[in-house]
Amino acid sequence: MIKKVLKIIVVILMIIGIFCGVSITVKKEIPKLAREEKEVNIINMVQNRIADIKSFYTYGRAFNISGEVSNINKDNFEGAKLIITDGEQYEKSYNLNYEFKDNKLNFSSDIEINSGIIIDELENKDYYCLLRLKLNNSANPKYYSFVNSSEYKDIEYYTITKERKK
């Protein structure tokens, strides 16, 4: 009788262990699949051509960027914005300064130190930066991804808080 009860307890513990192991695995895989899905959504928005980043930097709380896109017709151009998105709900656009030179659109965020894109305002997660161009001959804007053509390596930005205040 005691052996049967012990067998039932062991079987129940094994079932609970298997259930816990499977649920932990599923919980780890679901965010991974969600991230892959939003990356696919971002990639589907982006044009085949890319924007070259010539320089970028952080100073204080601000991030600034400058670069160029080739083969943009000045007569067909309406405006340029930098888009920061998490691929889901968050999207914020920033006006860019721009000029045309040698059949290229040169763009830059704010040129003043300690101003520009205030990155302290962003929640702690992964973001995607895109260049959005509005052209006269297109109802929808065109999105371009970036390639780092600068002399700088990629950066990571961290904030330090005191008593949960920035």
Alpha carbons 117 and 98: distance in angstroms, whole number:
16
User: In the Cβ-directed half-sphere of 109, how many Cα atoms lie within 13 Å?
Assistant: 24
Identify the segments of the chain with pLDDT beneath 50. none
Q: What is the pLDDT of residue 71?
A: 84
Cα separation, 36 vs 61, whole angstroms: 29
Tell me which of 3.30.60, 2.40.50, 2.60.40, 1.10.287 is the CATH number of domain 48-148: 2.60.40
Q: What is the pLDDT of residue 151?
A: 85
pLDDT at 76: 80
pLDDT of residue 17: 75
Pair 119, 66: CB distance under 8 Å: no
pTM: 0.66
Extract the tokens encoding 91: 């999207």
How much is the pLDDT for 99? 92
Q: CB-based contacts of 65: which residues, under 8 Å, 6+ apart?
A: 53, 55, 56, 82, 108, 109, 117, 129
According to the model, what pLDDT value does residue 25 have?
65
pLDDT of residue 115: 74
Question: Buried b vs exposed e over 69-88: b needs ≥16 C-beta within 10 Å?
Answer: beebeeeeeeebbbbbbbbe
CA distance 107 to 96: 6
Say if residues 24 and 72 touch (Cβ distance below 8 Å). no
CA distance 41 to 35: 10
pLDDT of residue 38: 63
